[in-house]
Each structure stands twice: as structure tokens, then as C-alpha cells.
């Protein structure tokens, strides 16, 4: 897949996810085989441009290109200015968010709320495309709700306005992260436009990735929740799509090196206080489903310093390697646990119930 002058190979994209796809995670996923990683969404509101959160989300130092920044808002001029600002900070591609289902985003008519106003969609896309000399892409959902699916119409608007690639999350805004992704709708979008289409939603394993490509005809895949605690999923999918064969999961030594390196990068990026907090969720995802993983998760959650977190992880990794050496078959059975169903499904009653049951069994 190409986006403007950039060859995205393999055609696997890390989804932008607030609080997850920071620079350490994006860089790790790129090393693990992703062809592109989209940064966390930043607001187009100029009053928020210099906040600590915005500065962190636009920090691309040392990041492999093409660097892709995602902007969100509802005012065409603000979005155009935000695009110029992010290009000045090193972005090679600008992605516009019209897919976020969060209430605080939709309540200001941004994110997926924009899908209800197609004329405004066109004005925004025209303004941003005209504002910057780099490729502009767009992420949408299939519509606001099941009675107003308009992904095909929005895709056609995007193509007319000069958008150079389109990502479709196969759910409506009303679905949030519940239910199955609508691959048939993504297929309709692909058939309606000539620009590259990226399919997003429920891609958690190599076989599923191949099935989504076949069902949608998409040019690329965007992967989000499926990579939580499994950044090597990108290389597994790339290998499977190329050869039809499954790669083995990382052995205990490689697993230890990946997780330890990621923890160190988080601490270095955020600093002592925030780094300790951000590390907790990632370690929780890494050990999810691993025998004895709840012990490490609890130790890391209780640790108040980066040194304590790293010491707990290193001690656990020593035991992990010893366990694999004594029983390789047991490690192979447990090394690729299922990902969490969603990183923010606590916003729905079903998600809260799943989280409660999961917590009881940790």
C-alpha cells in the first residue's frame, strides 16, 4: 500500500489509541513488524496545544518514518492550523479522526459525531488537504448508528477532497467497541473508491487477518486491541500472509527482552512518576493469561518506583526462562494468550461486567 510517496510495507498499521499508542509503544510495534504507526489523537483546539499531554503526544524524536499524527476537532480552520503545526513538529502524514466514539469528543461535535454532517466533513477535508504539503488520511466508522450508516458516502467525499487513504473501523458510533465488526460495509467502501482502504476491527490473529483481507478486499489492516501485550502480532501476521505459515510465539528469553525493553522505554519517556503509572497497564497486558502472571502484575502495580518495577520484572523473567527450559511444551501452550476484549470497554455495562469477572479471576 502507498500513502502519497510512502510505501507502507508490510501493510499493517498500528491504530491510534489514547493512552496506549505513545512513542514507546509505536516504536516497539514498528520493530515488531508494523509498516506504519499512527500517533495518539491530539486536539485541534489551539488552547490545548502546549499542554503536557499534547507535547508528549507530538514527540516523535527518533521515531521511524513515516511519522503519522492524528488530529481531532470540528472547526475546519482549527484543524488546518493543527495540521500545519504537526507537520512543523515532524509529521509526514496527517490523519483526521472522524471515528472516535468517546462522549467527550462527540459532545463537541468531533470524532464520529462528524459523520452526521457530511457538508462539514467536506469542508474539513478540503481545508486540511489545502493546508499542508503532506498526505492527509482519514479514519471513520461505518456511521453514527445502524439507521444511518453512511461510510460509502463519506468515503466518496474523502476521495473527491484529496484524502489519500481511508481507514474504516467496522462499527457505528453507537456500537462503541461492542459486537462484531461489519466487514461487509468495509467491502462496500472499498468497491466505491479508488484510494487505499484500511480495514480496522477485531483483528487478533494471523488467520483472522487473512480472512478480513479476503472479506473486504482492503489494501491494509489496522490493528489496535489485538496487539495489547502482543506487539509481535504484527510480524506473525506479516509472516502468515506471505507464507501461509504460523510463526512460533517469542520464547521466554525474547519475551523477557521485549517486555523489559518496553518497560525501560516507558520509564525514560514519561519520567519516574508517570512512567510507573503507565507501565502498570502494559505489564498487565503482557502477563494476561500466563501462568503465575497475576503475581507479577500485582508486584508491578504495588511498586512505587521504576527500579522496583524493573526488579520485579527481572526476577519474574528469570523464573519464566527456567520454567520454559524445564517444560517447553507448557510455555508454547501459554505464550500466546488471548488479548483483552477492549482497552476501554469499561464505558459500557457489558464491558464493566467483563472487567469485573476478569478481575475476580486474577
pLDDT band at residue 346, thresholds of 50, 70 and 90? Answer: very low
* Across 140-149, average pLDDT: 88
Contact of 137 with 167, CB cutoff 8 Å = yes
Q: Which of 29, 100, 106, 161 is flagged as catalytic?
A: 100
Percent of the chain with pLDDT over 70: 90
* Across 316-345, average pLDDT: 68
The C-alpha atoms of residue 83 and residue 62 are separated, in whole angstroms, by 20
Give strand pairing partners of 13. Answer: 36, 222
- Note the pLDDT tens digit of each residue in 183-235: 999 999 999 999 999 999 999 999 999 999 999 999 999 999 999 999 999 99
Q: What is the DSSP string of 328-358?
A: HHHHHHHSSPPPPS-SSGGGSHHHHHHHHHH
- Predicted pLDDT at 272: 95
* Across 317-334, average pLDDT: 80
Cell numbers at residue 152, please?
A: 460509502
Each domain of the chain, given as residue ranges in start order, spans 2-243, 252-335
- Predicted pLDDT at 343: 42
Q: What are phi and psi of 174, to 5 degrees?
A: -65, -30
- Note the pLDDT tens digit of each residue in 259-309: 999 999 999 999 999 999 999 999 999 999 888 899 999 999 999 999 999
Fold of 2-243: TIM Barrel (3.20.20)
Cα distances (Å, whole numbers) of residue 322 to 146, 297, 310, 318: 52, 19, 18, 6
Asked if omega into 10 is within 30° of 0 (cis), the reply is yes
Nearest C-alpha neighbor of 30 from the set 49, 10, 50, 16: 10
* Across 78-105, average pLDDT: 92
Nearest C-alpha neighbor of 57 from the set 98, 32, 85: 85
Q: Is 253 helix (H, G, I), strand (E, B) or coil?
A: helix
| Catalytic residue check, 100 | yes
Amino acid at each position: 500500500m502507498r500513502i502519497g510517496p510512502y510505501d507502507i510495507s508490510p501493510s499493517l498499521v498500528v491504530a491510534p489509541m489514547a493512552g496506549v499508542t505513545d512513542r514507546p509503544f509505536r516504536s516497539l510495534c514498528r520493530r515488531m513488524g508494523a509498516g506504519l504507526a499512527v500517533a495518539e489523537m491530539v486536539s485541534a483546539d489551539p488552547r490545548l496545544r502546549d499542554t503536557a499531554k499534547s507535547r508528549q503526544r507530538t514527540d516523535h524524536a527518533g521515531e521511524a518514518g513515516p511519522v503519522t499524527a492524528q488530529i481531532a476537532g470540528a472547526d475546519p480552520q482549527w484543524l488546518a492550523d493543527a495540521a500545519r503545526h504537526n507537520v512543523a513538529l515532524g509529521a509526514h502524514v496527517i490523519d483526521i479522526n472522524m471515528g472516535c466514539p468517546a462522549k467527550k469528543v462527540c459532545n463537541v461535535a468531533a470524532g464520529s459525531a462528524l459523520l452526521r454532517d457530511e457538508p462539514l466533513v467536506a469542508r474539513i477535508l478540503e481545508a486540511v488537504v489545502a493546508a499542508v504539503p503532506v498526505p492527509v488520511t482519514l479514519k471513520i466508522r461505518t456511521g453514527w448508528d445502524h439507521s444511518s450508516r453512511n461510510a460509502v458516502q463519506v468515503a466518496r467525499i474523502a476521495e473527491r477532497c484529496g484524502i489519500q487513504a481511508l481507514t474504516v473501523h467496522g462499527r457505528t458510533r453507537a456500537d462503541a467497541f461492542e459486537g462484531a465488526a461489519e466487514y461487509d460495509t468495509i467491502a462496500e467502501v472499498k468497491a466505491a473508491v479508488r484510494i487505499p482502504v484500511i480495514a480496522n476491527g477485531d483483528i487478533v490473529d494471523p488467520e483472522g487477518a487473512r480472512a478480513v483481507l479476503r472479506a473486504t478486499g482492503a489494501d491494509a489492516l489496522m490493528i489496535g486491541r489485538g496487539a495489547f501485550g502482543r506487539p509481535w502480532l504484527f510480524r506473525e501476521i506479516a509472516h502468515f500472509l506471505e507464507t501461509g505459515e504460523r510463526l512460533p510465539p517469542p520464547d521466554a528469553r525474547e519475551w523477557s527482552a521485549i517486555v523489559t525493553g518496553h518497560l525501560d522505554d516507558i520509564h525514560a519517556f514519561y519520567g519516574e512518576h508517570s512512567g510507573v503509572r503507565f507501565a502498570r497497564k502494559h505489564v498487565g497486558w503482557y502477563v494476561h493469561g500466563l501462568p503465575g502472571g497475576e503475581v507479577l502484575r500485582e508486584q508491578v502495580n504495588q511498586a512505587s518506583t521504576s527500579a522496583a518495577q524493573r526488579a520485579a520484572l527481572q526476577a519474574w523473567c528469570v523464573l519464566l526462562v527456567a520454567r520454559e527450559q524445564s517444560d517447553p511444551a507448557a510455555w508454547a501452550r501459554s505464550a500466546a494468550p488471548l488479548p483483552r476484549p477492549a482497552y476501554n470497554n469499561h464505558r459500557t455495562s457489558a464491558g464493566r461486567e467483563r472487567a469485573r469477572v476478569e478481575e475476580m479471576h486474577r
